[in-house]
Amino acid sequence: MSAPSSGGASRDGYGAALLDLAVDERVVVLEADLGKSTKSCHFRAEYPERTVSLGIAEQNMVLVSAGLASCGKIPFASTFAIFSERAFEQVRNGVARPGLVAHFCGSHGGTHTGTDGSSAQSIEDLAIYRTIPGMTVMHPSDDISTRELTKQLLKHDFPSYTRTARNKTPRLYDDESVRKLKIGKGSILREGSDIAIFSCGVMVHKALLAAELISKEGIEVTVVDMHTIKPLDFELIDRLSKDVKGFVTVEDHSVIGGLGSAISEYVSSKNPIKVIKIGVEDKFGESGESEELLDIMGLTIERIAESCREI
């Protein structure tokens, strides 16, 4: 892959994708008073007649989405990741259980959100949505991949939850490489024969930097952007589990129930291999700048590198 370039936040990619999807008149957008933050405001400005603003009523937003989906519309609804958790039961029983297709986006996920503090930092959203039968769960790494994967949801036959981030991160894809992305298929950003790092969201860039760091020591690492946590790319996991000495998983999410758990659950019964999970330990976040918080949580380049050395 080419060197990362400066980019926007993944939430910007979500907002751009909604405008791309507007050509299909079945697409409708729902908000819970946070359209400016989730970037659905751009769609609302252009297509107010196809936007439903529910106010601070996330549970109602989900059930209105269900109603629209049952009438042939394709709803895209967004709020903060932490507030989406209020509507878990409605997503489960109102959308997923009856087999409706609606797509939800939780912005400002993880501790990378920063100064809003622990009450606004969802570190469990990927875990809880992963438990819902038939639910697709994604956490893209940059704005351009978020835009592409969100657009693919137009033809996706299952309900979905996508986590986006508040702050800008380096762009890891370009207009050519992003076309290779597919929901449910991991994206290999770097090839190496010794270790495989699986990461998602804002931590993918740090995984790449860690891989470059230990390459100087003769340890070669494959880095996978595992943007889709569910369904997992079992084929890729199977192949890499036979080719490398161990896995490291890296995520700005609890080590309980997220990407690391999903991969560990699978390989333990298929191709057992050592897995070191890097994420938020069993604790809440704090208030601080995003990089400061990642350091406090141990989500650092050096810790990733040290885990590779350990394997």
Residue positions annotated with a catalytic role: 58
Q: Which residues, 6+ apart, have CB-to-CB distance to 244 below 8 Å?
A: 192, 193, 194, 195, 196, 222, 273
H or E stretch at 167: none
Phi-psi region of 257 (alpha: psi -120 to 50; beta: other; left: phi over 0): left
- Give the strand order in the sheet containing 274-280: 187-190, 221-225, 195-199, 246-254, 274-280
The Cα–Cα gap between 255 and 297 comes to 11
Do 267 and 198 touch, CB atoms closer than 8 A? no
User: How many Å apart are CA 213 and CA 207, to the nearest integer?
Assistant: 10
If one counts every other C-beta atom within 10 angstroms of the C-beta of residue 46, the result is 12
